[in-house]
Structure 1
Amino acid sequence: MTQNIRVVVVGGGYAGVMAANRLTQRDDVAVTLINPRPDFVHRIRLHQLVGGTGDAVVGYRDILADRVALVVDTASRIDTTGRTVALANGAAVGYDYLIYAVGSGSADPSVPGAAEYAHTMASLEEAQRLRSVLDTTPTTAMVTVVGAGATGIEVAAELAAEGRAVTLVCGKVLHPYLHPRTRRRFAKRLAKLGVSIIDGPDARVTGVSRDAVRLADGRELPSTVTIWTAGFSVPDLAARSGLTTDAAGRLLTDETLTSIDDDRIVAAGDSAAPSNLPLRMSCQAANPLGAHAADTVLARITGGQPTTIAIGFFGQCVSLGHGAATVQLASKNDIAKAFAVGGFLGAKIKRDSFPGLIEHLAHEAHQPGSYTWKFRDDTRRQRLQTLAER
């Protein structure tokens, strides 16, 4: 069968790779993946890269279907009228359908001095630069991690286990997502590693200098290396291309992940905002969102009606130093429960997740359409209806 339907996937993270692989179910679909770097970034291992205990790079040929053409460049604009994607090198790639999976990155810190003196780590290049800084910094030097979500906790624990003096500045509370019972467990584990935790109403950073972090109550914390993990942001490609986005810049879609502006454009992963009620940014959501985005495109190609998303969560797994982790269990609509799994089992779940995610992508490359997801939130429609009635 001749390949005459062009589908371009912009972004080669978890969602983008899953979508690209799944699209190869049809022999008449030519799939192109556009990504700014030649290798896949296994983002859930970036804290290990920073800590010097693991790598976060996987070759695309290990996870990408042979029929997917990889274009290593940055998408600079989407021309919805001409159905082309302009690249940074001046070239353009035409499409019949486009999957928007540009992912997320570090939030731009607005605190004075943070952009100049703090190190971010949401991308491969940022994590590599930070590792280089740590390699030349004495282990006795003070390290301050700003932001106590999963990323902040993981890198703080990783560096403390390395023998470094680490202070974790929470903003308000340690990882707000956690159930209070689990939060106490996290705090005990971090304290055991030697991490100093600063939380409460005054634990808000108001300034960063070369060798200190200033808090809202006027305290100054000595800090040779300051790591900024507070928040994520999405690229502004959609907004620059004239597409409707939510307040954070994610592409606004309906419940099938189709752009509200153009039924030839479908979103997936961190950069998607279905019904202006986006799912938590995570690889846990990215794989099923990528698969669903591909299914939406395939349905439209055949003239069928795409289905609405039914994607749920099981919780959140957080590394707590070398060989340790805790899994905060949650309801399918992502509300933390009063239960968590730690110890040997928690560590095993986290350890198995590293190759597990890669195996899902690789399996879909070899058997497109085989990926399924166990966790489905069937209450989303009810929540959307409640929001609409307010």
Structure 2
Amino acid sequence: MNASQGTRSSEVPPRNVVVVGAGYAGVIAANRIQAARRPGVTVTVVNPRSEFVERVRLHQHAADGADATTALSGLLDPAVRVRVATVDRITDAAVVLDDGGSLDFDLLVYAVGSRSDRGVGAEHTHTVGDLEDADRLRSRLRELADDSSVVVVGGGLTGIETSAEIAERLPGRTVRLVSAGPVAEGLSERGRRGVTRTLARLGVEVHAGSRMLRAEPGRVVLADGTVLASDCTIWAGALGVPDLARRSGLPVDGAGRLQTDENLVCLGHPNVIGVGDAVAPPERVAGHIRMSCQAAIPLGAHGADTALALLDGRAPRPLSIGFASQCISLGRRAGVVQLVRADDSPRRIALGGRTAAVVKELICRSARWGVGTRGSAVRWPVPGPTPTRQTQDTSA
């Protein structure tokens, strides 16, 4: 063997990593993989827009136009490539794009996130599930007269935050919050009291214990027969996921989420890794995980670590993440920070008032900064016994 042959044999072959989606999970996954500087590895992010959307601020964006986007160029490692396009389908080794192009991959990180699933009355409701929906809601709210009525459907964190934000930022409107069960059901008694007291102070009327039967022009009909006047109805209930995995023939659960093993590797597809809201790892490691940026960030980081292990020929480690708190903004001057166990069950301790509002704002800012720091310092709590409860929400 001559010298030139020896040099060629020692070269590392190029390997392409494609990250589909640039939300919290996708951005930190791309940055973490790129930060490892593996020889020959190219990281490309595919996203429908060139901006990162802070979903935790979309209710603020809808109420008063608060900025909820940041240029991806300011968050991603400069070496990460960006392709602005939508993925039509995923094949065994390539993603097919809506602009007619395609990208080959050796590893794919599936990070398509979640979206609002409006269900009944969809044609007569708005959401804060994505930027376009929040833009449409903002336009509608600006059209409303001062004495108009707004109905928010959903007593979870997103519904609470949305109703409080509108009541504070747009005084004069009648704001009603509809919840099939108790409002803020996942919080401790102290946390729930803090939420209900602040909603009452803001003038939000709470209708708990009856689900929305249908939304119609000018009104909302509840299952118990109550009819509420509504000039603008906002759905803040359950979330759904894009159907890309299903359309691509990848294994999904009943909700359409990509099925993975405990390492976040797609079942039957060892070159696909799933992260964020749109994946369904085994119940034993992820039964407690709710849809949120608080979960998406460590899921993205763990998926990146799994990708690096596969690139290195190492066995990836199992998923093990937990929660520390549930943080709720109640307008800009109040909030609730509910401390939780690692399995997301509430502790008795909850902070409220202006202090909680400051903590919530700092957490929102740190979430954006955190995904843009190449992910090298991300840590998360280790959960205790696997719980059975799973809550879907878009709040931090």
Query: Scaled by the length of structure 1, what TM-score is found?
Result: 0.92
Alpha-carbon distance between aligned partners in 1 of 2:14 and 2:347, rounded to the nearest angstrom: 49
Question: In the alignment, is residue 352 of structure 1 matched against residue 362 of structure 2?
Answer: yes
Which of 40, 45, 63 does residue 51 from structure 1 map onto? 63
Partner Cα distance (2:380, 2:260) in 1: 23
Deviation at 1:310, TM superposition (A): 1.3
Aligned match for 1:195, one of 201, 204, 212: 204
The AA in structure 1 aligned to 2:54 is H
Aligned residues: 371
Aligned to 1:119, the other structure's residue is in SS state coil
**Alignment of structure 1 residues 315-330 onto 2, 5 Å:** 315-330=325-340
- Structure 2: runs of 5 or more not aligned: 1-10, 389-396
What is the CA distance between 1:73 and its match in structure 2?
0.9
Structure 2 match to 1:375: 381
Cα deviation digits, residues 148-204 of structure 1 (max 9, x gap): 11111111001111212100001121022222332122111101100000012xx11
5 Å-filtered alignment, 1:83-162, equals 83-109=93-119, 111=120, 114-162=121-169
Pairs within 5 Å for 1:1-390: 4-24=14-34, 25=36, 26-52=38-64, 54-80=66-92, 83-109=93-119, 111=120, 114-162=121-169, 163=171, 164-200=173-209, 203-276=210-283, 277-278=286-287, 279-364=289-374, 370-380=376-386
Q: Cα distance, 1:2 vs. partner?
A: 6.7
Please tell me whether the aligned partners of residues 313 and 331 of structure 1 are also in contact (alpha carbons under 8 angstroms).
yes
Contact 1:313 1:377 in 2 (8 A): yes
Match for 1:95: what amino acid?
F
Report the RMSD for the aligned CA atoms in angstroms.
Answer: 1.5
Does the residue aligned with 2:30 lie in a helix, a strand or coil?
Answer: helix
Paired residues of 2:27 and 2:372 also in contact (CA < 8 A): no
Moved over 4 A (4+): none
Q: What does the per-residue CA deviation read over 1:343-364, in whole Å, with 9 as the maximum and x for residues that have no partner?
A: 2321121111122112112211
Instruction: Give the SS at the match of 1:259.
Output: coil
How much has 1:22 moved relative to structure 2?
A: 0.7
Post-superposition Cα deviations, 1:33-58, rounded to whole Å, max 9, x if no partner, equal 01111110011111110110621011
Q: Distance in 1 between matches of 2:97 and 2:384?
A: 39
| Aligned mates of 2:147, 2:87 — CA distance in 1 | 43
Distance 1:150 1:214 in 2: 22
Listed as ranges, the gaps of 5+ residues in structure 1 are: 385-390
- Give 1:224 deviation, angstroms: 0.5
- Per the TM alignment, residue 245 of structure 1 is displaced from its structure 2 partner at its CA by 1.1
In 2, Cα distance between the equivalents of 1:264 and 1:166? 48
Letter matched to residue 187 of structure 1: T
CA–CA distance in structure 1, aligned partners of residues 44 and 184 of structure 2: 38
